[in-house]
Every structure is written in structure tokens, then in C-alpha cells.
């Protein structure tokens, strides 16, 4: 299986901050990477697909970049609604594995 490693595991930030989460794949996945946001007690929500394409309806403060084995999710100016857990997922090779998650907390 392709291992997906996110860093950091926990991130403390303030409203208005710019934050970046990194996701590394154990082998190249081209650009077949998605980012999801999950709030407590809720199902995940798709934010970014194909590494950098913004899902319809997702605010433009979210952006993704990268290819091959290293990827980033950036939130340009944190809003109160953004405090949640974020997961990357590769869909290049079965099984389509997720990262372990990054919990974004209020500082």
C-alpha cells in the first residue's frame, strides 16, 4: 500500500493566519491527491482534487499544490469555520489510502 504521511499532526493557529499542511506519499502518485475536511461528528467534505483543483462551493482561501510525492494544502486566511481535521488521500493506486489527519486547533 502507498503510505500517506501528513505533517504536522496538530496545528495551532489564529483566525486570519495563513497555514500550510503537508502530505507526503511513499511513492509517486502523479497529481492524484485529494484533500478533505472533517468536523467532529460529521462526514468528511471534499475540498481539493487532482492536487490543486478546488471543488465547487469551496471557498477560494483553500488551495492545493504539489505532484509526485509531496503536496500541500494552504488556507490563506483562517476563518472560525476552518478549525477541523484535514485528510489527504491518494487515488493513484489501490487501495486509495488516506493520511493520518491534521487537526487544526484554535490558538
Binding site for other proteins (CB under 8 A): 1, 32, 34, 36, 38, 43-46, 49-50, 55, 87, 89, 91-92, 94-101
What Cα–Cα distance (Å) separates residue 54 from each residue in 13, 27, 34, 100? Answer: 23, 24, 10, 22
Collapsing DSSP to helix, strand or coil, 82 comes out as helix
Our CB check for other proteins shows the closer of 51 and 75 to be 51
Our CB check for other proteins shows the closer of 38 and 65 to be 38
Contacts of 104 (CB under 8 A, 6+ apart): 11, 13, 19, 21, 78, 82, 83, 84, 85, 86
Closest distance to other proteins from the beta carbon of 43 (Å): 4
Distance of CA 34 to the CA centre of its chain: 7
Our CB check for other proteins shows the closer of 17 and 31 to be 31
Our CB check for other proteins shows the closer of 17 and 63 to be 63
Closest distance to other proteins from the beta carbon of 66 (Å): 16
Closest distance to other proteins from the beta carbon of 88 (Å): 10
Amino acid at each position: 500500500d502507498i503510505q500517506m504521511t501528513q505533517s504536522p499532526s496538530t496545528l495551532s493557529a489564529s483566525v486570519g493566519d495563513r497555514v500550510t499542511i503537508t502530505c507526503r506519499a511513499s511513492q509517486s502518485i502523479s497529481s492524484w491527491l485529494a484533500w478533505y475536511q472533517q468536523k467532529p461528528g460529521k462526514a468528511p467534505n471534499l475540498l481539493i482534487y487532482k492536487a490543486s483543483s478546488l471543488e465547487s462551493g469551496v471557498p477560494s482561501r483553500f488551495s492545493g499544490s504539489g505532484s509526485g510525492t509531496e503536496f500541500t494544502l494552504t488556507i490563506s486566511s483562517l476563518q472560525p469555520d476552518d478549525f477541523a481535521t484535514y485528510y489527504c488521500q491518494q487515488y493513484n493506486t489501490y487501495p486509495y489510502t488516506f493520511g493520518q489527519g491534521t487537526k487544526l486547533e484554535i490558538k
